[in-house]
Amino acid sequence: MRRPKILISVVLTTLVFIIAGFGADDPDVINSKERLGEKLFFDPILSKDKSISCASCHKPEFAFADTATFSVGVGGTIGSRNSPSVTNLSGRPNLFWDGRVSSLEEQALQPIINPVEMNLPIAEALERLQKDQTYAKLFQDIFNAAPNQKNLLAAIAAYERTLETSNSPYDRYIDGDDNAISESAKRGRLLFIGKANCNNCHSGEDFTADRFKGIGLFNGADLKDAGRFEVTKNPEHEGHFKIPGLRNVALTAPYMHNGMFKTLKDVIKYYNNPDEFIKNGKNRDLSLSRPLGLTDVEINDLEAFLVTLTDDRFNKK
């Protein structure tokens, strides 16, 4: 009885790939701010030496995250934090690991002007776009204006808002398809909301409580990134970072703000007993004060559940 729904899902997924992944270099099909934002996202014109684009650090095949611990900017400069996925960011109240901005428009600006990323002053970026005949016409057609900071960031943000995902095996399971996920993943889901206490922080449709937490990855010595503290200057926020969503998490390794864990299993093992990894973490949340006591089988089950959060558009056929 589910075959028509599955067929519709396949057709829609195919259309998403056609709309969001091909033809972006043909001005004839760029007739919305979302499509213009897509073209800009993949164009190195917004970096100082025209060597990297937004997609250089937010790779579509890895759920728009990076596979490097720290991304490489223009001139080989290395960033200080892992590049997170830019999927499912619509409506998030804070962005970046430290939550320093509150809108996708503000977020879109930061990598362009950051000296260790694209390193291009916004005035120079706009001058390039204004002198480019293709972009000048596109901005005029879509915004009825020449490229400016407001419409440039609006276009990129509009494209990022199309990167929402809700078509995973987990979603089909929640919708009533008992065969959508494995028995191991079903057990992992119960661990996620029970013994492992994951949903204390990773709750809601996108598996994030949209808060900041310290999980013990700051000690002021070898782990020096103070996270949220750099924004608020509140000592209680030292070592606190934004809780990321978990959709597509199986594709976004390495993990944490510093990319210190290379696999999902490494992450689960850390939460299972943080003191085995870091004994002197400051401002660690009280929920991590005792080992979870997960067995090897339970760790595997929890990992299996997390894999079910991968959207179909990213599953390699």
Q: Which residues are annotated as part of the binding site?
A: 54, 57-58, 198, 201-202
Asked if residue 254 has a cis previous peptide bond (ω within 30° of 0), the answer is yes
Nearest alpha-carbon partner for 197 in 283, 297, 309, 291:
291
As annotated, the binding site for heme c includes 54, 57-58, 198, 201-202
Q: How far is CA 73 from CA 47, 115, 119, 185, in A?
A: 9, 8, 8, 38
Report whether 108 contacts 157 (CB < 8 A).
yes
Residue 299 to residue 272: CA distance in whole angstroms: 9
What is the Rg, in whole angstroms, of the alpha carbon atoms belonging to the chain? 21
Residue 161 has phi, psi (to 5 degrees) of -70, -15
The span from the CA of 143 to the CA of 299, in Å, is 51
| CB atoms inside a 10 Å sphere around CB 105 | 18
How far is Cα 48 from Cα 40, in angstroms, rounded to an integer? 14
Torsion of CA 52, 55, 56, 61, to 10 degrees: -160
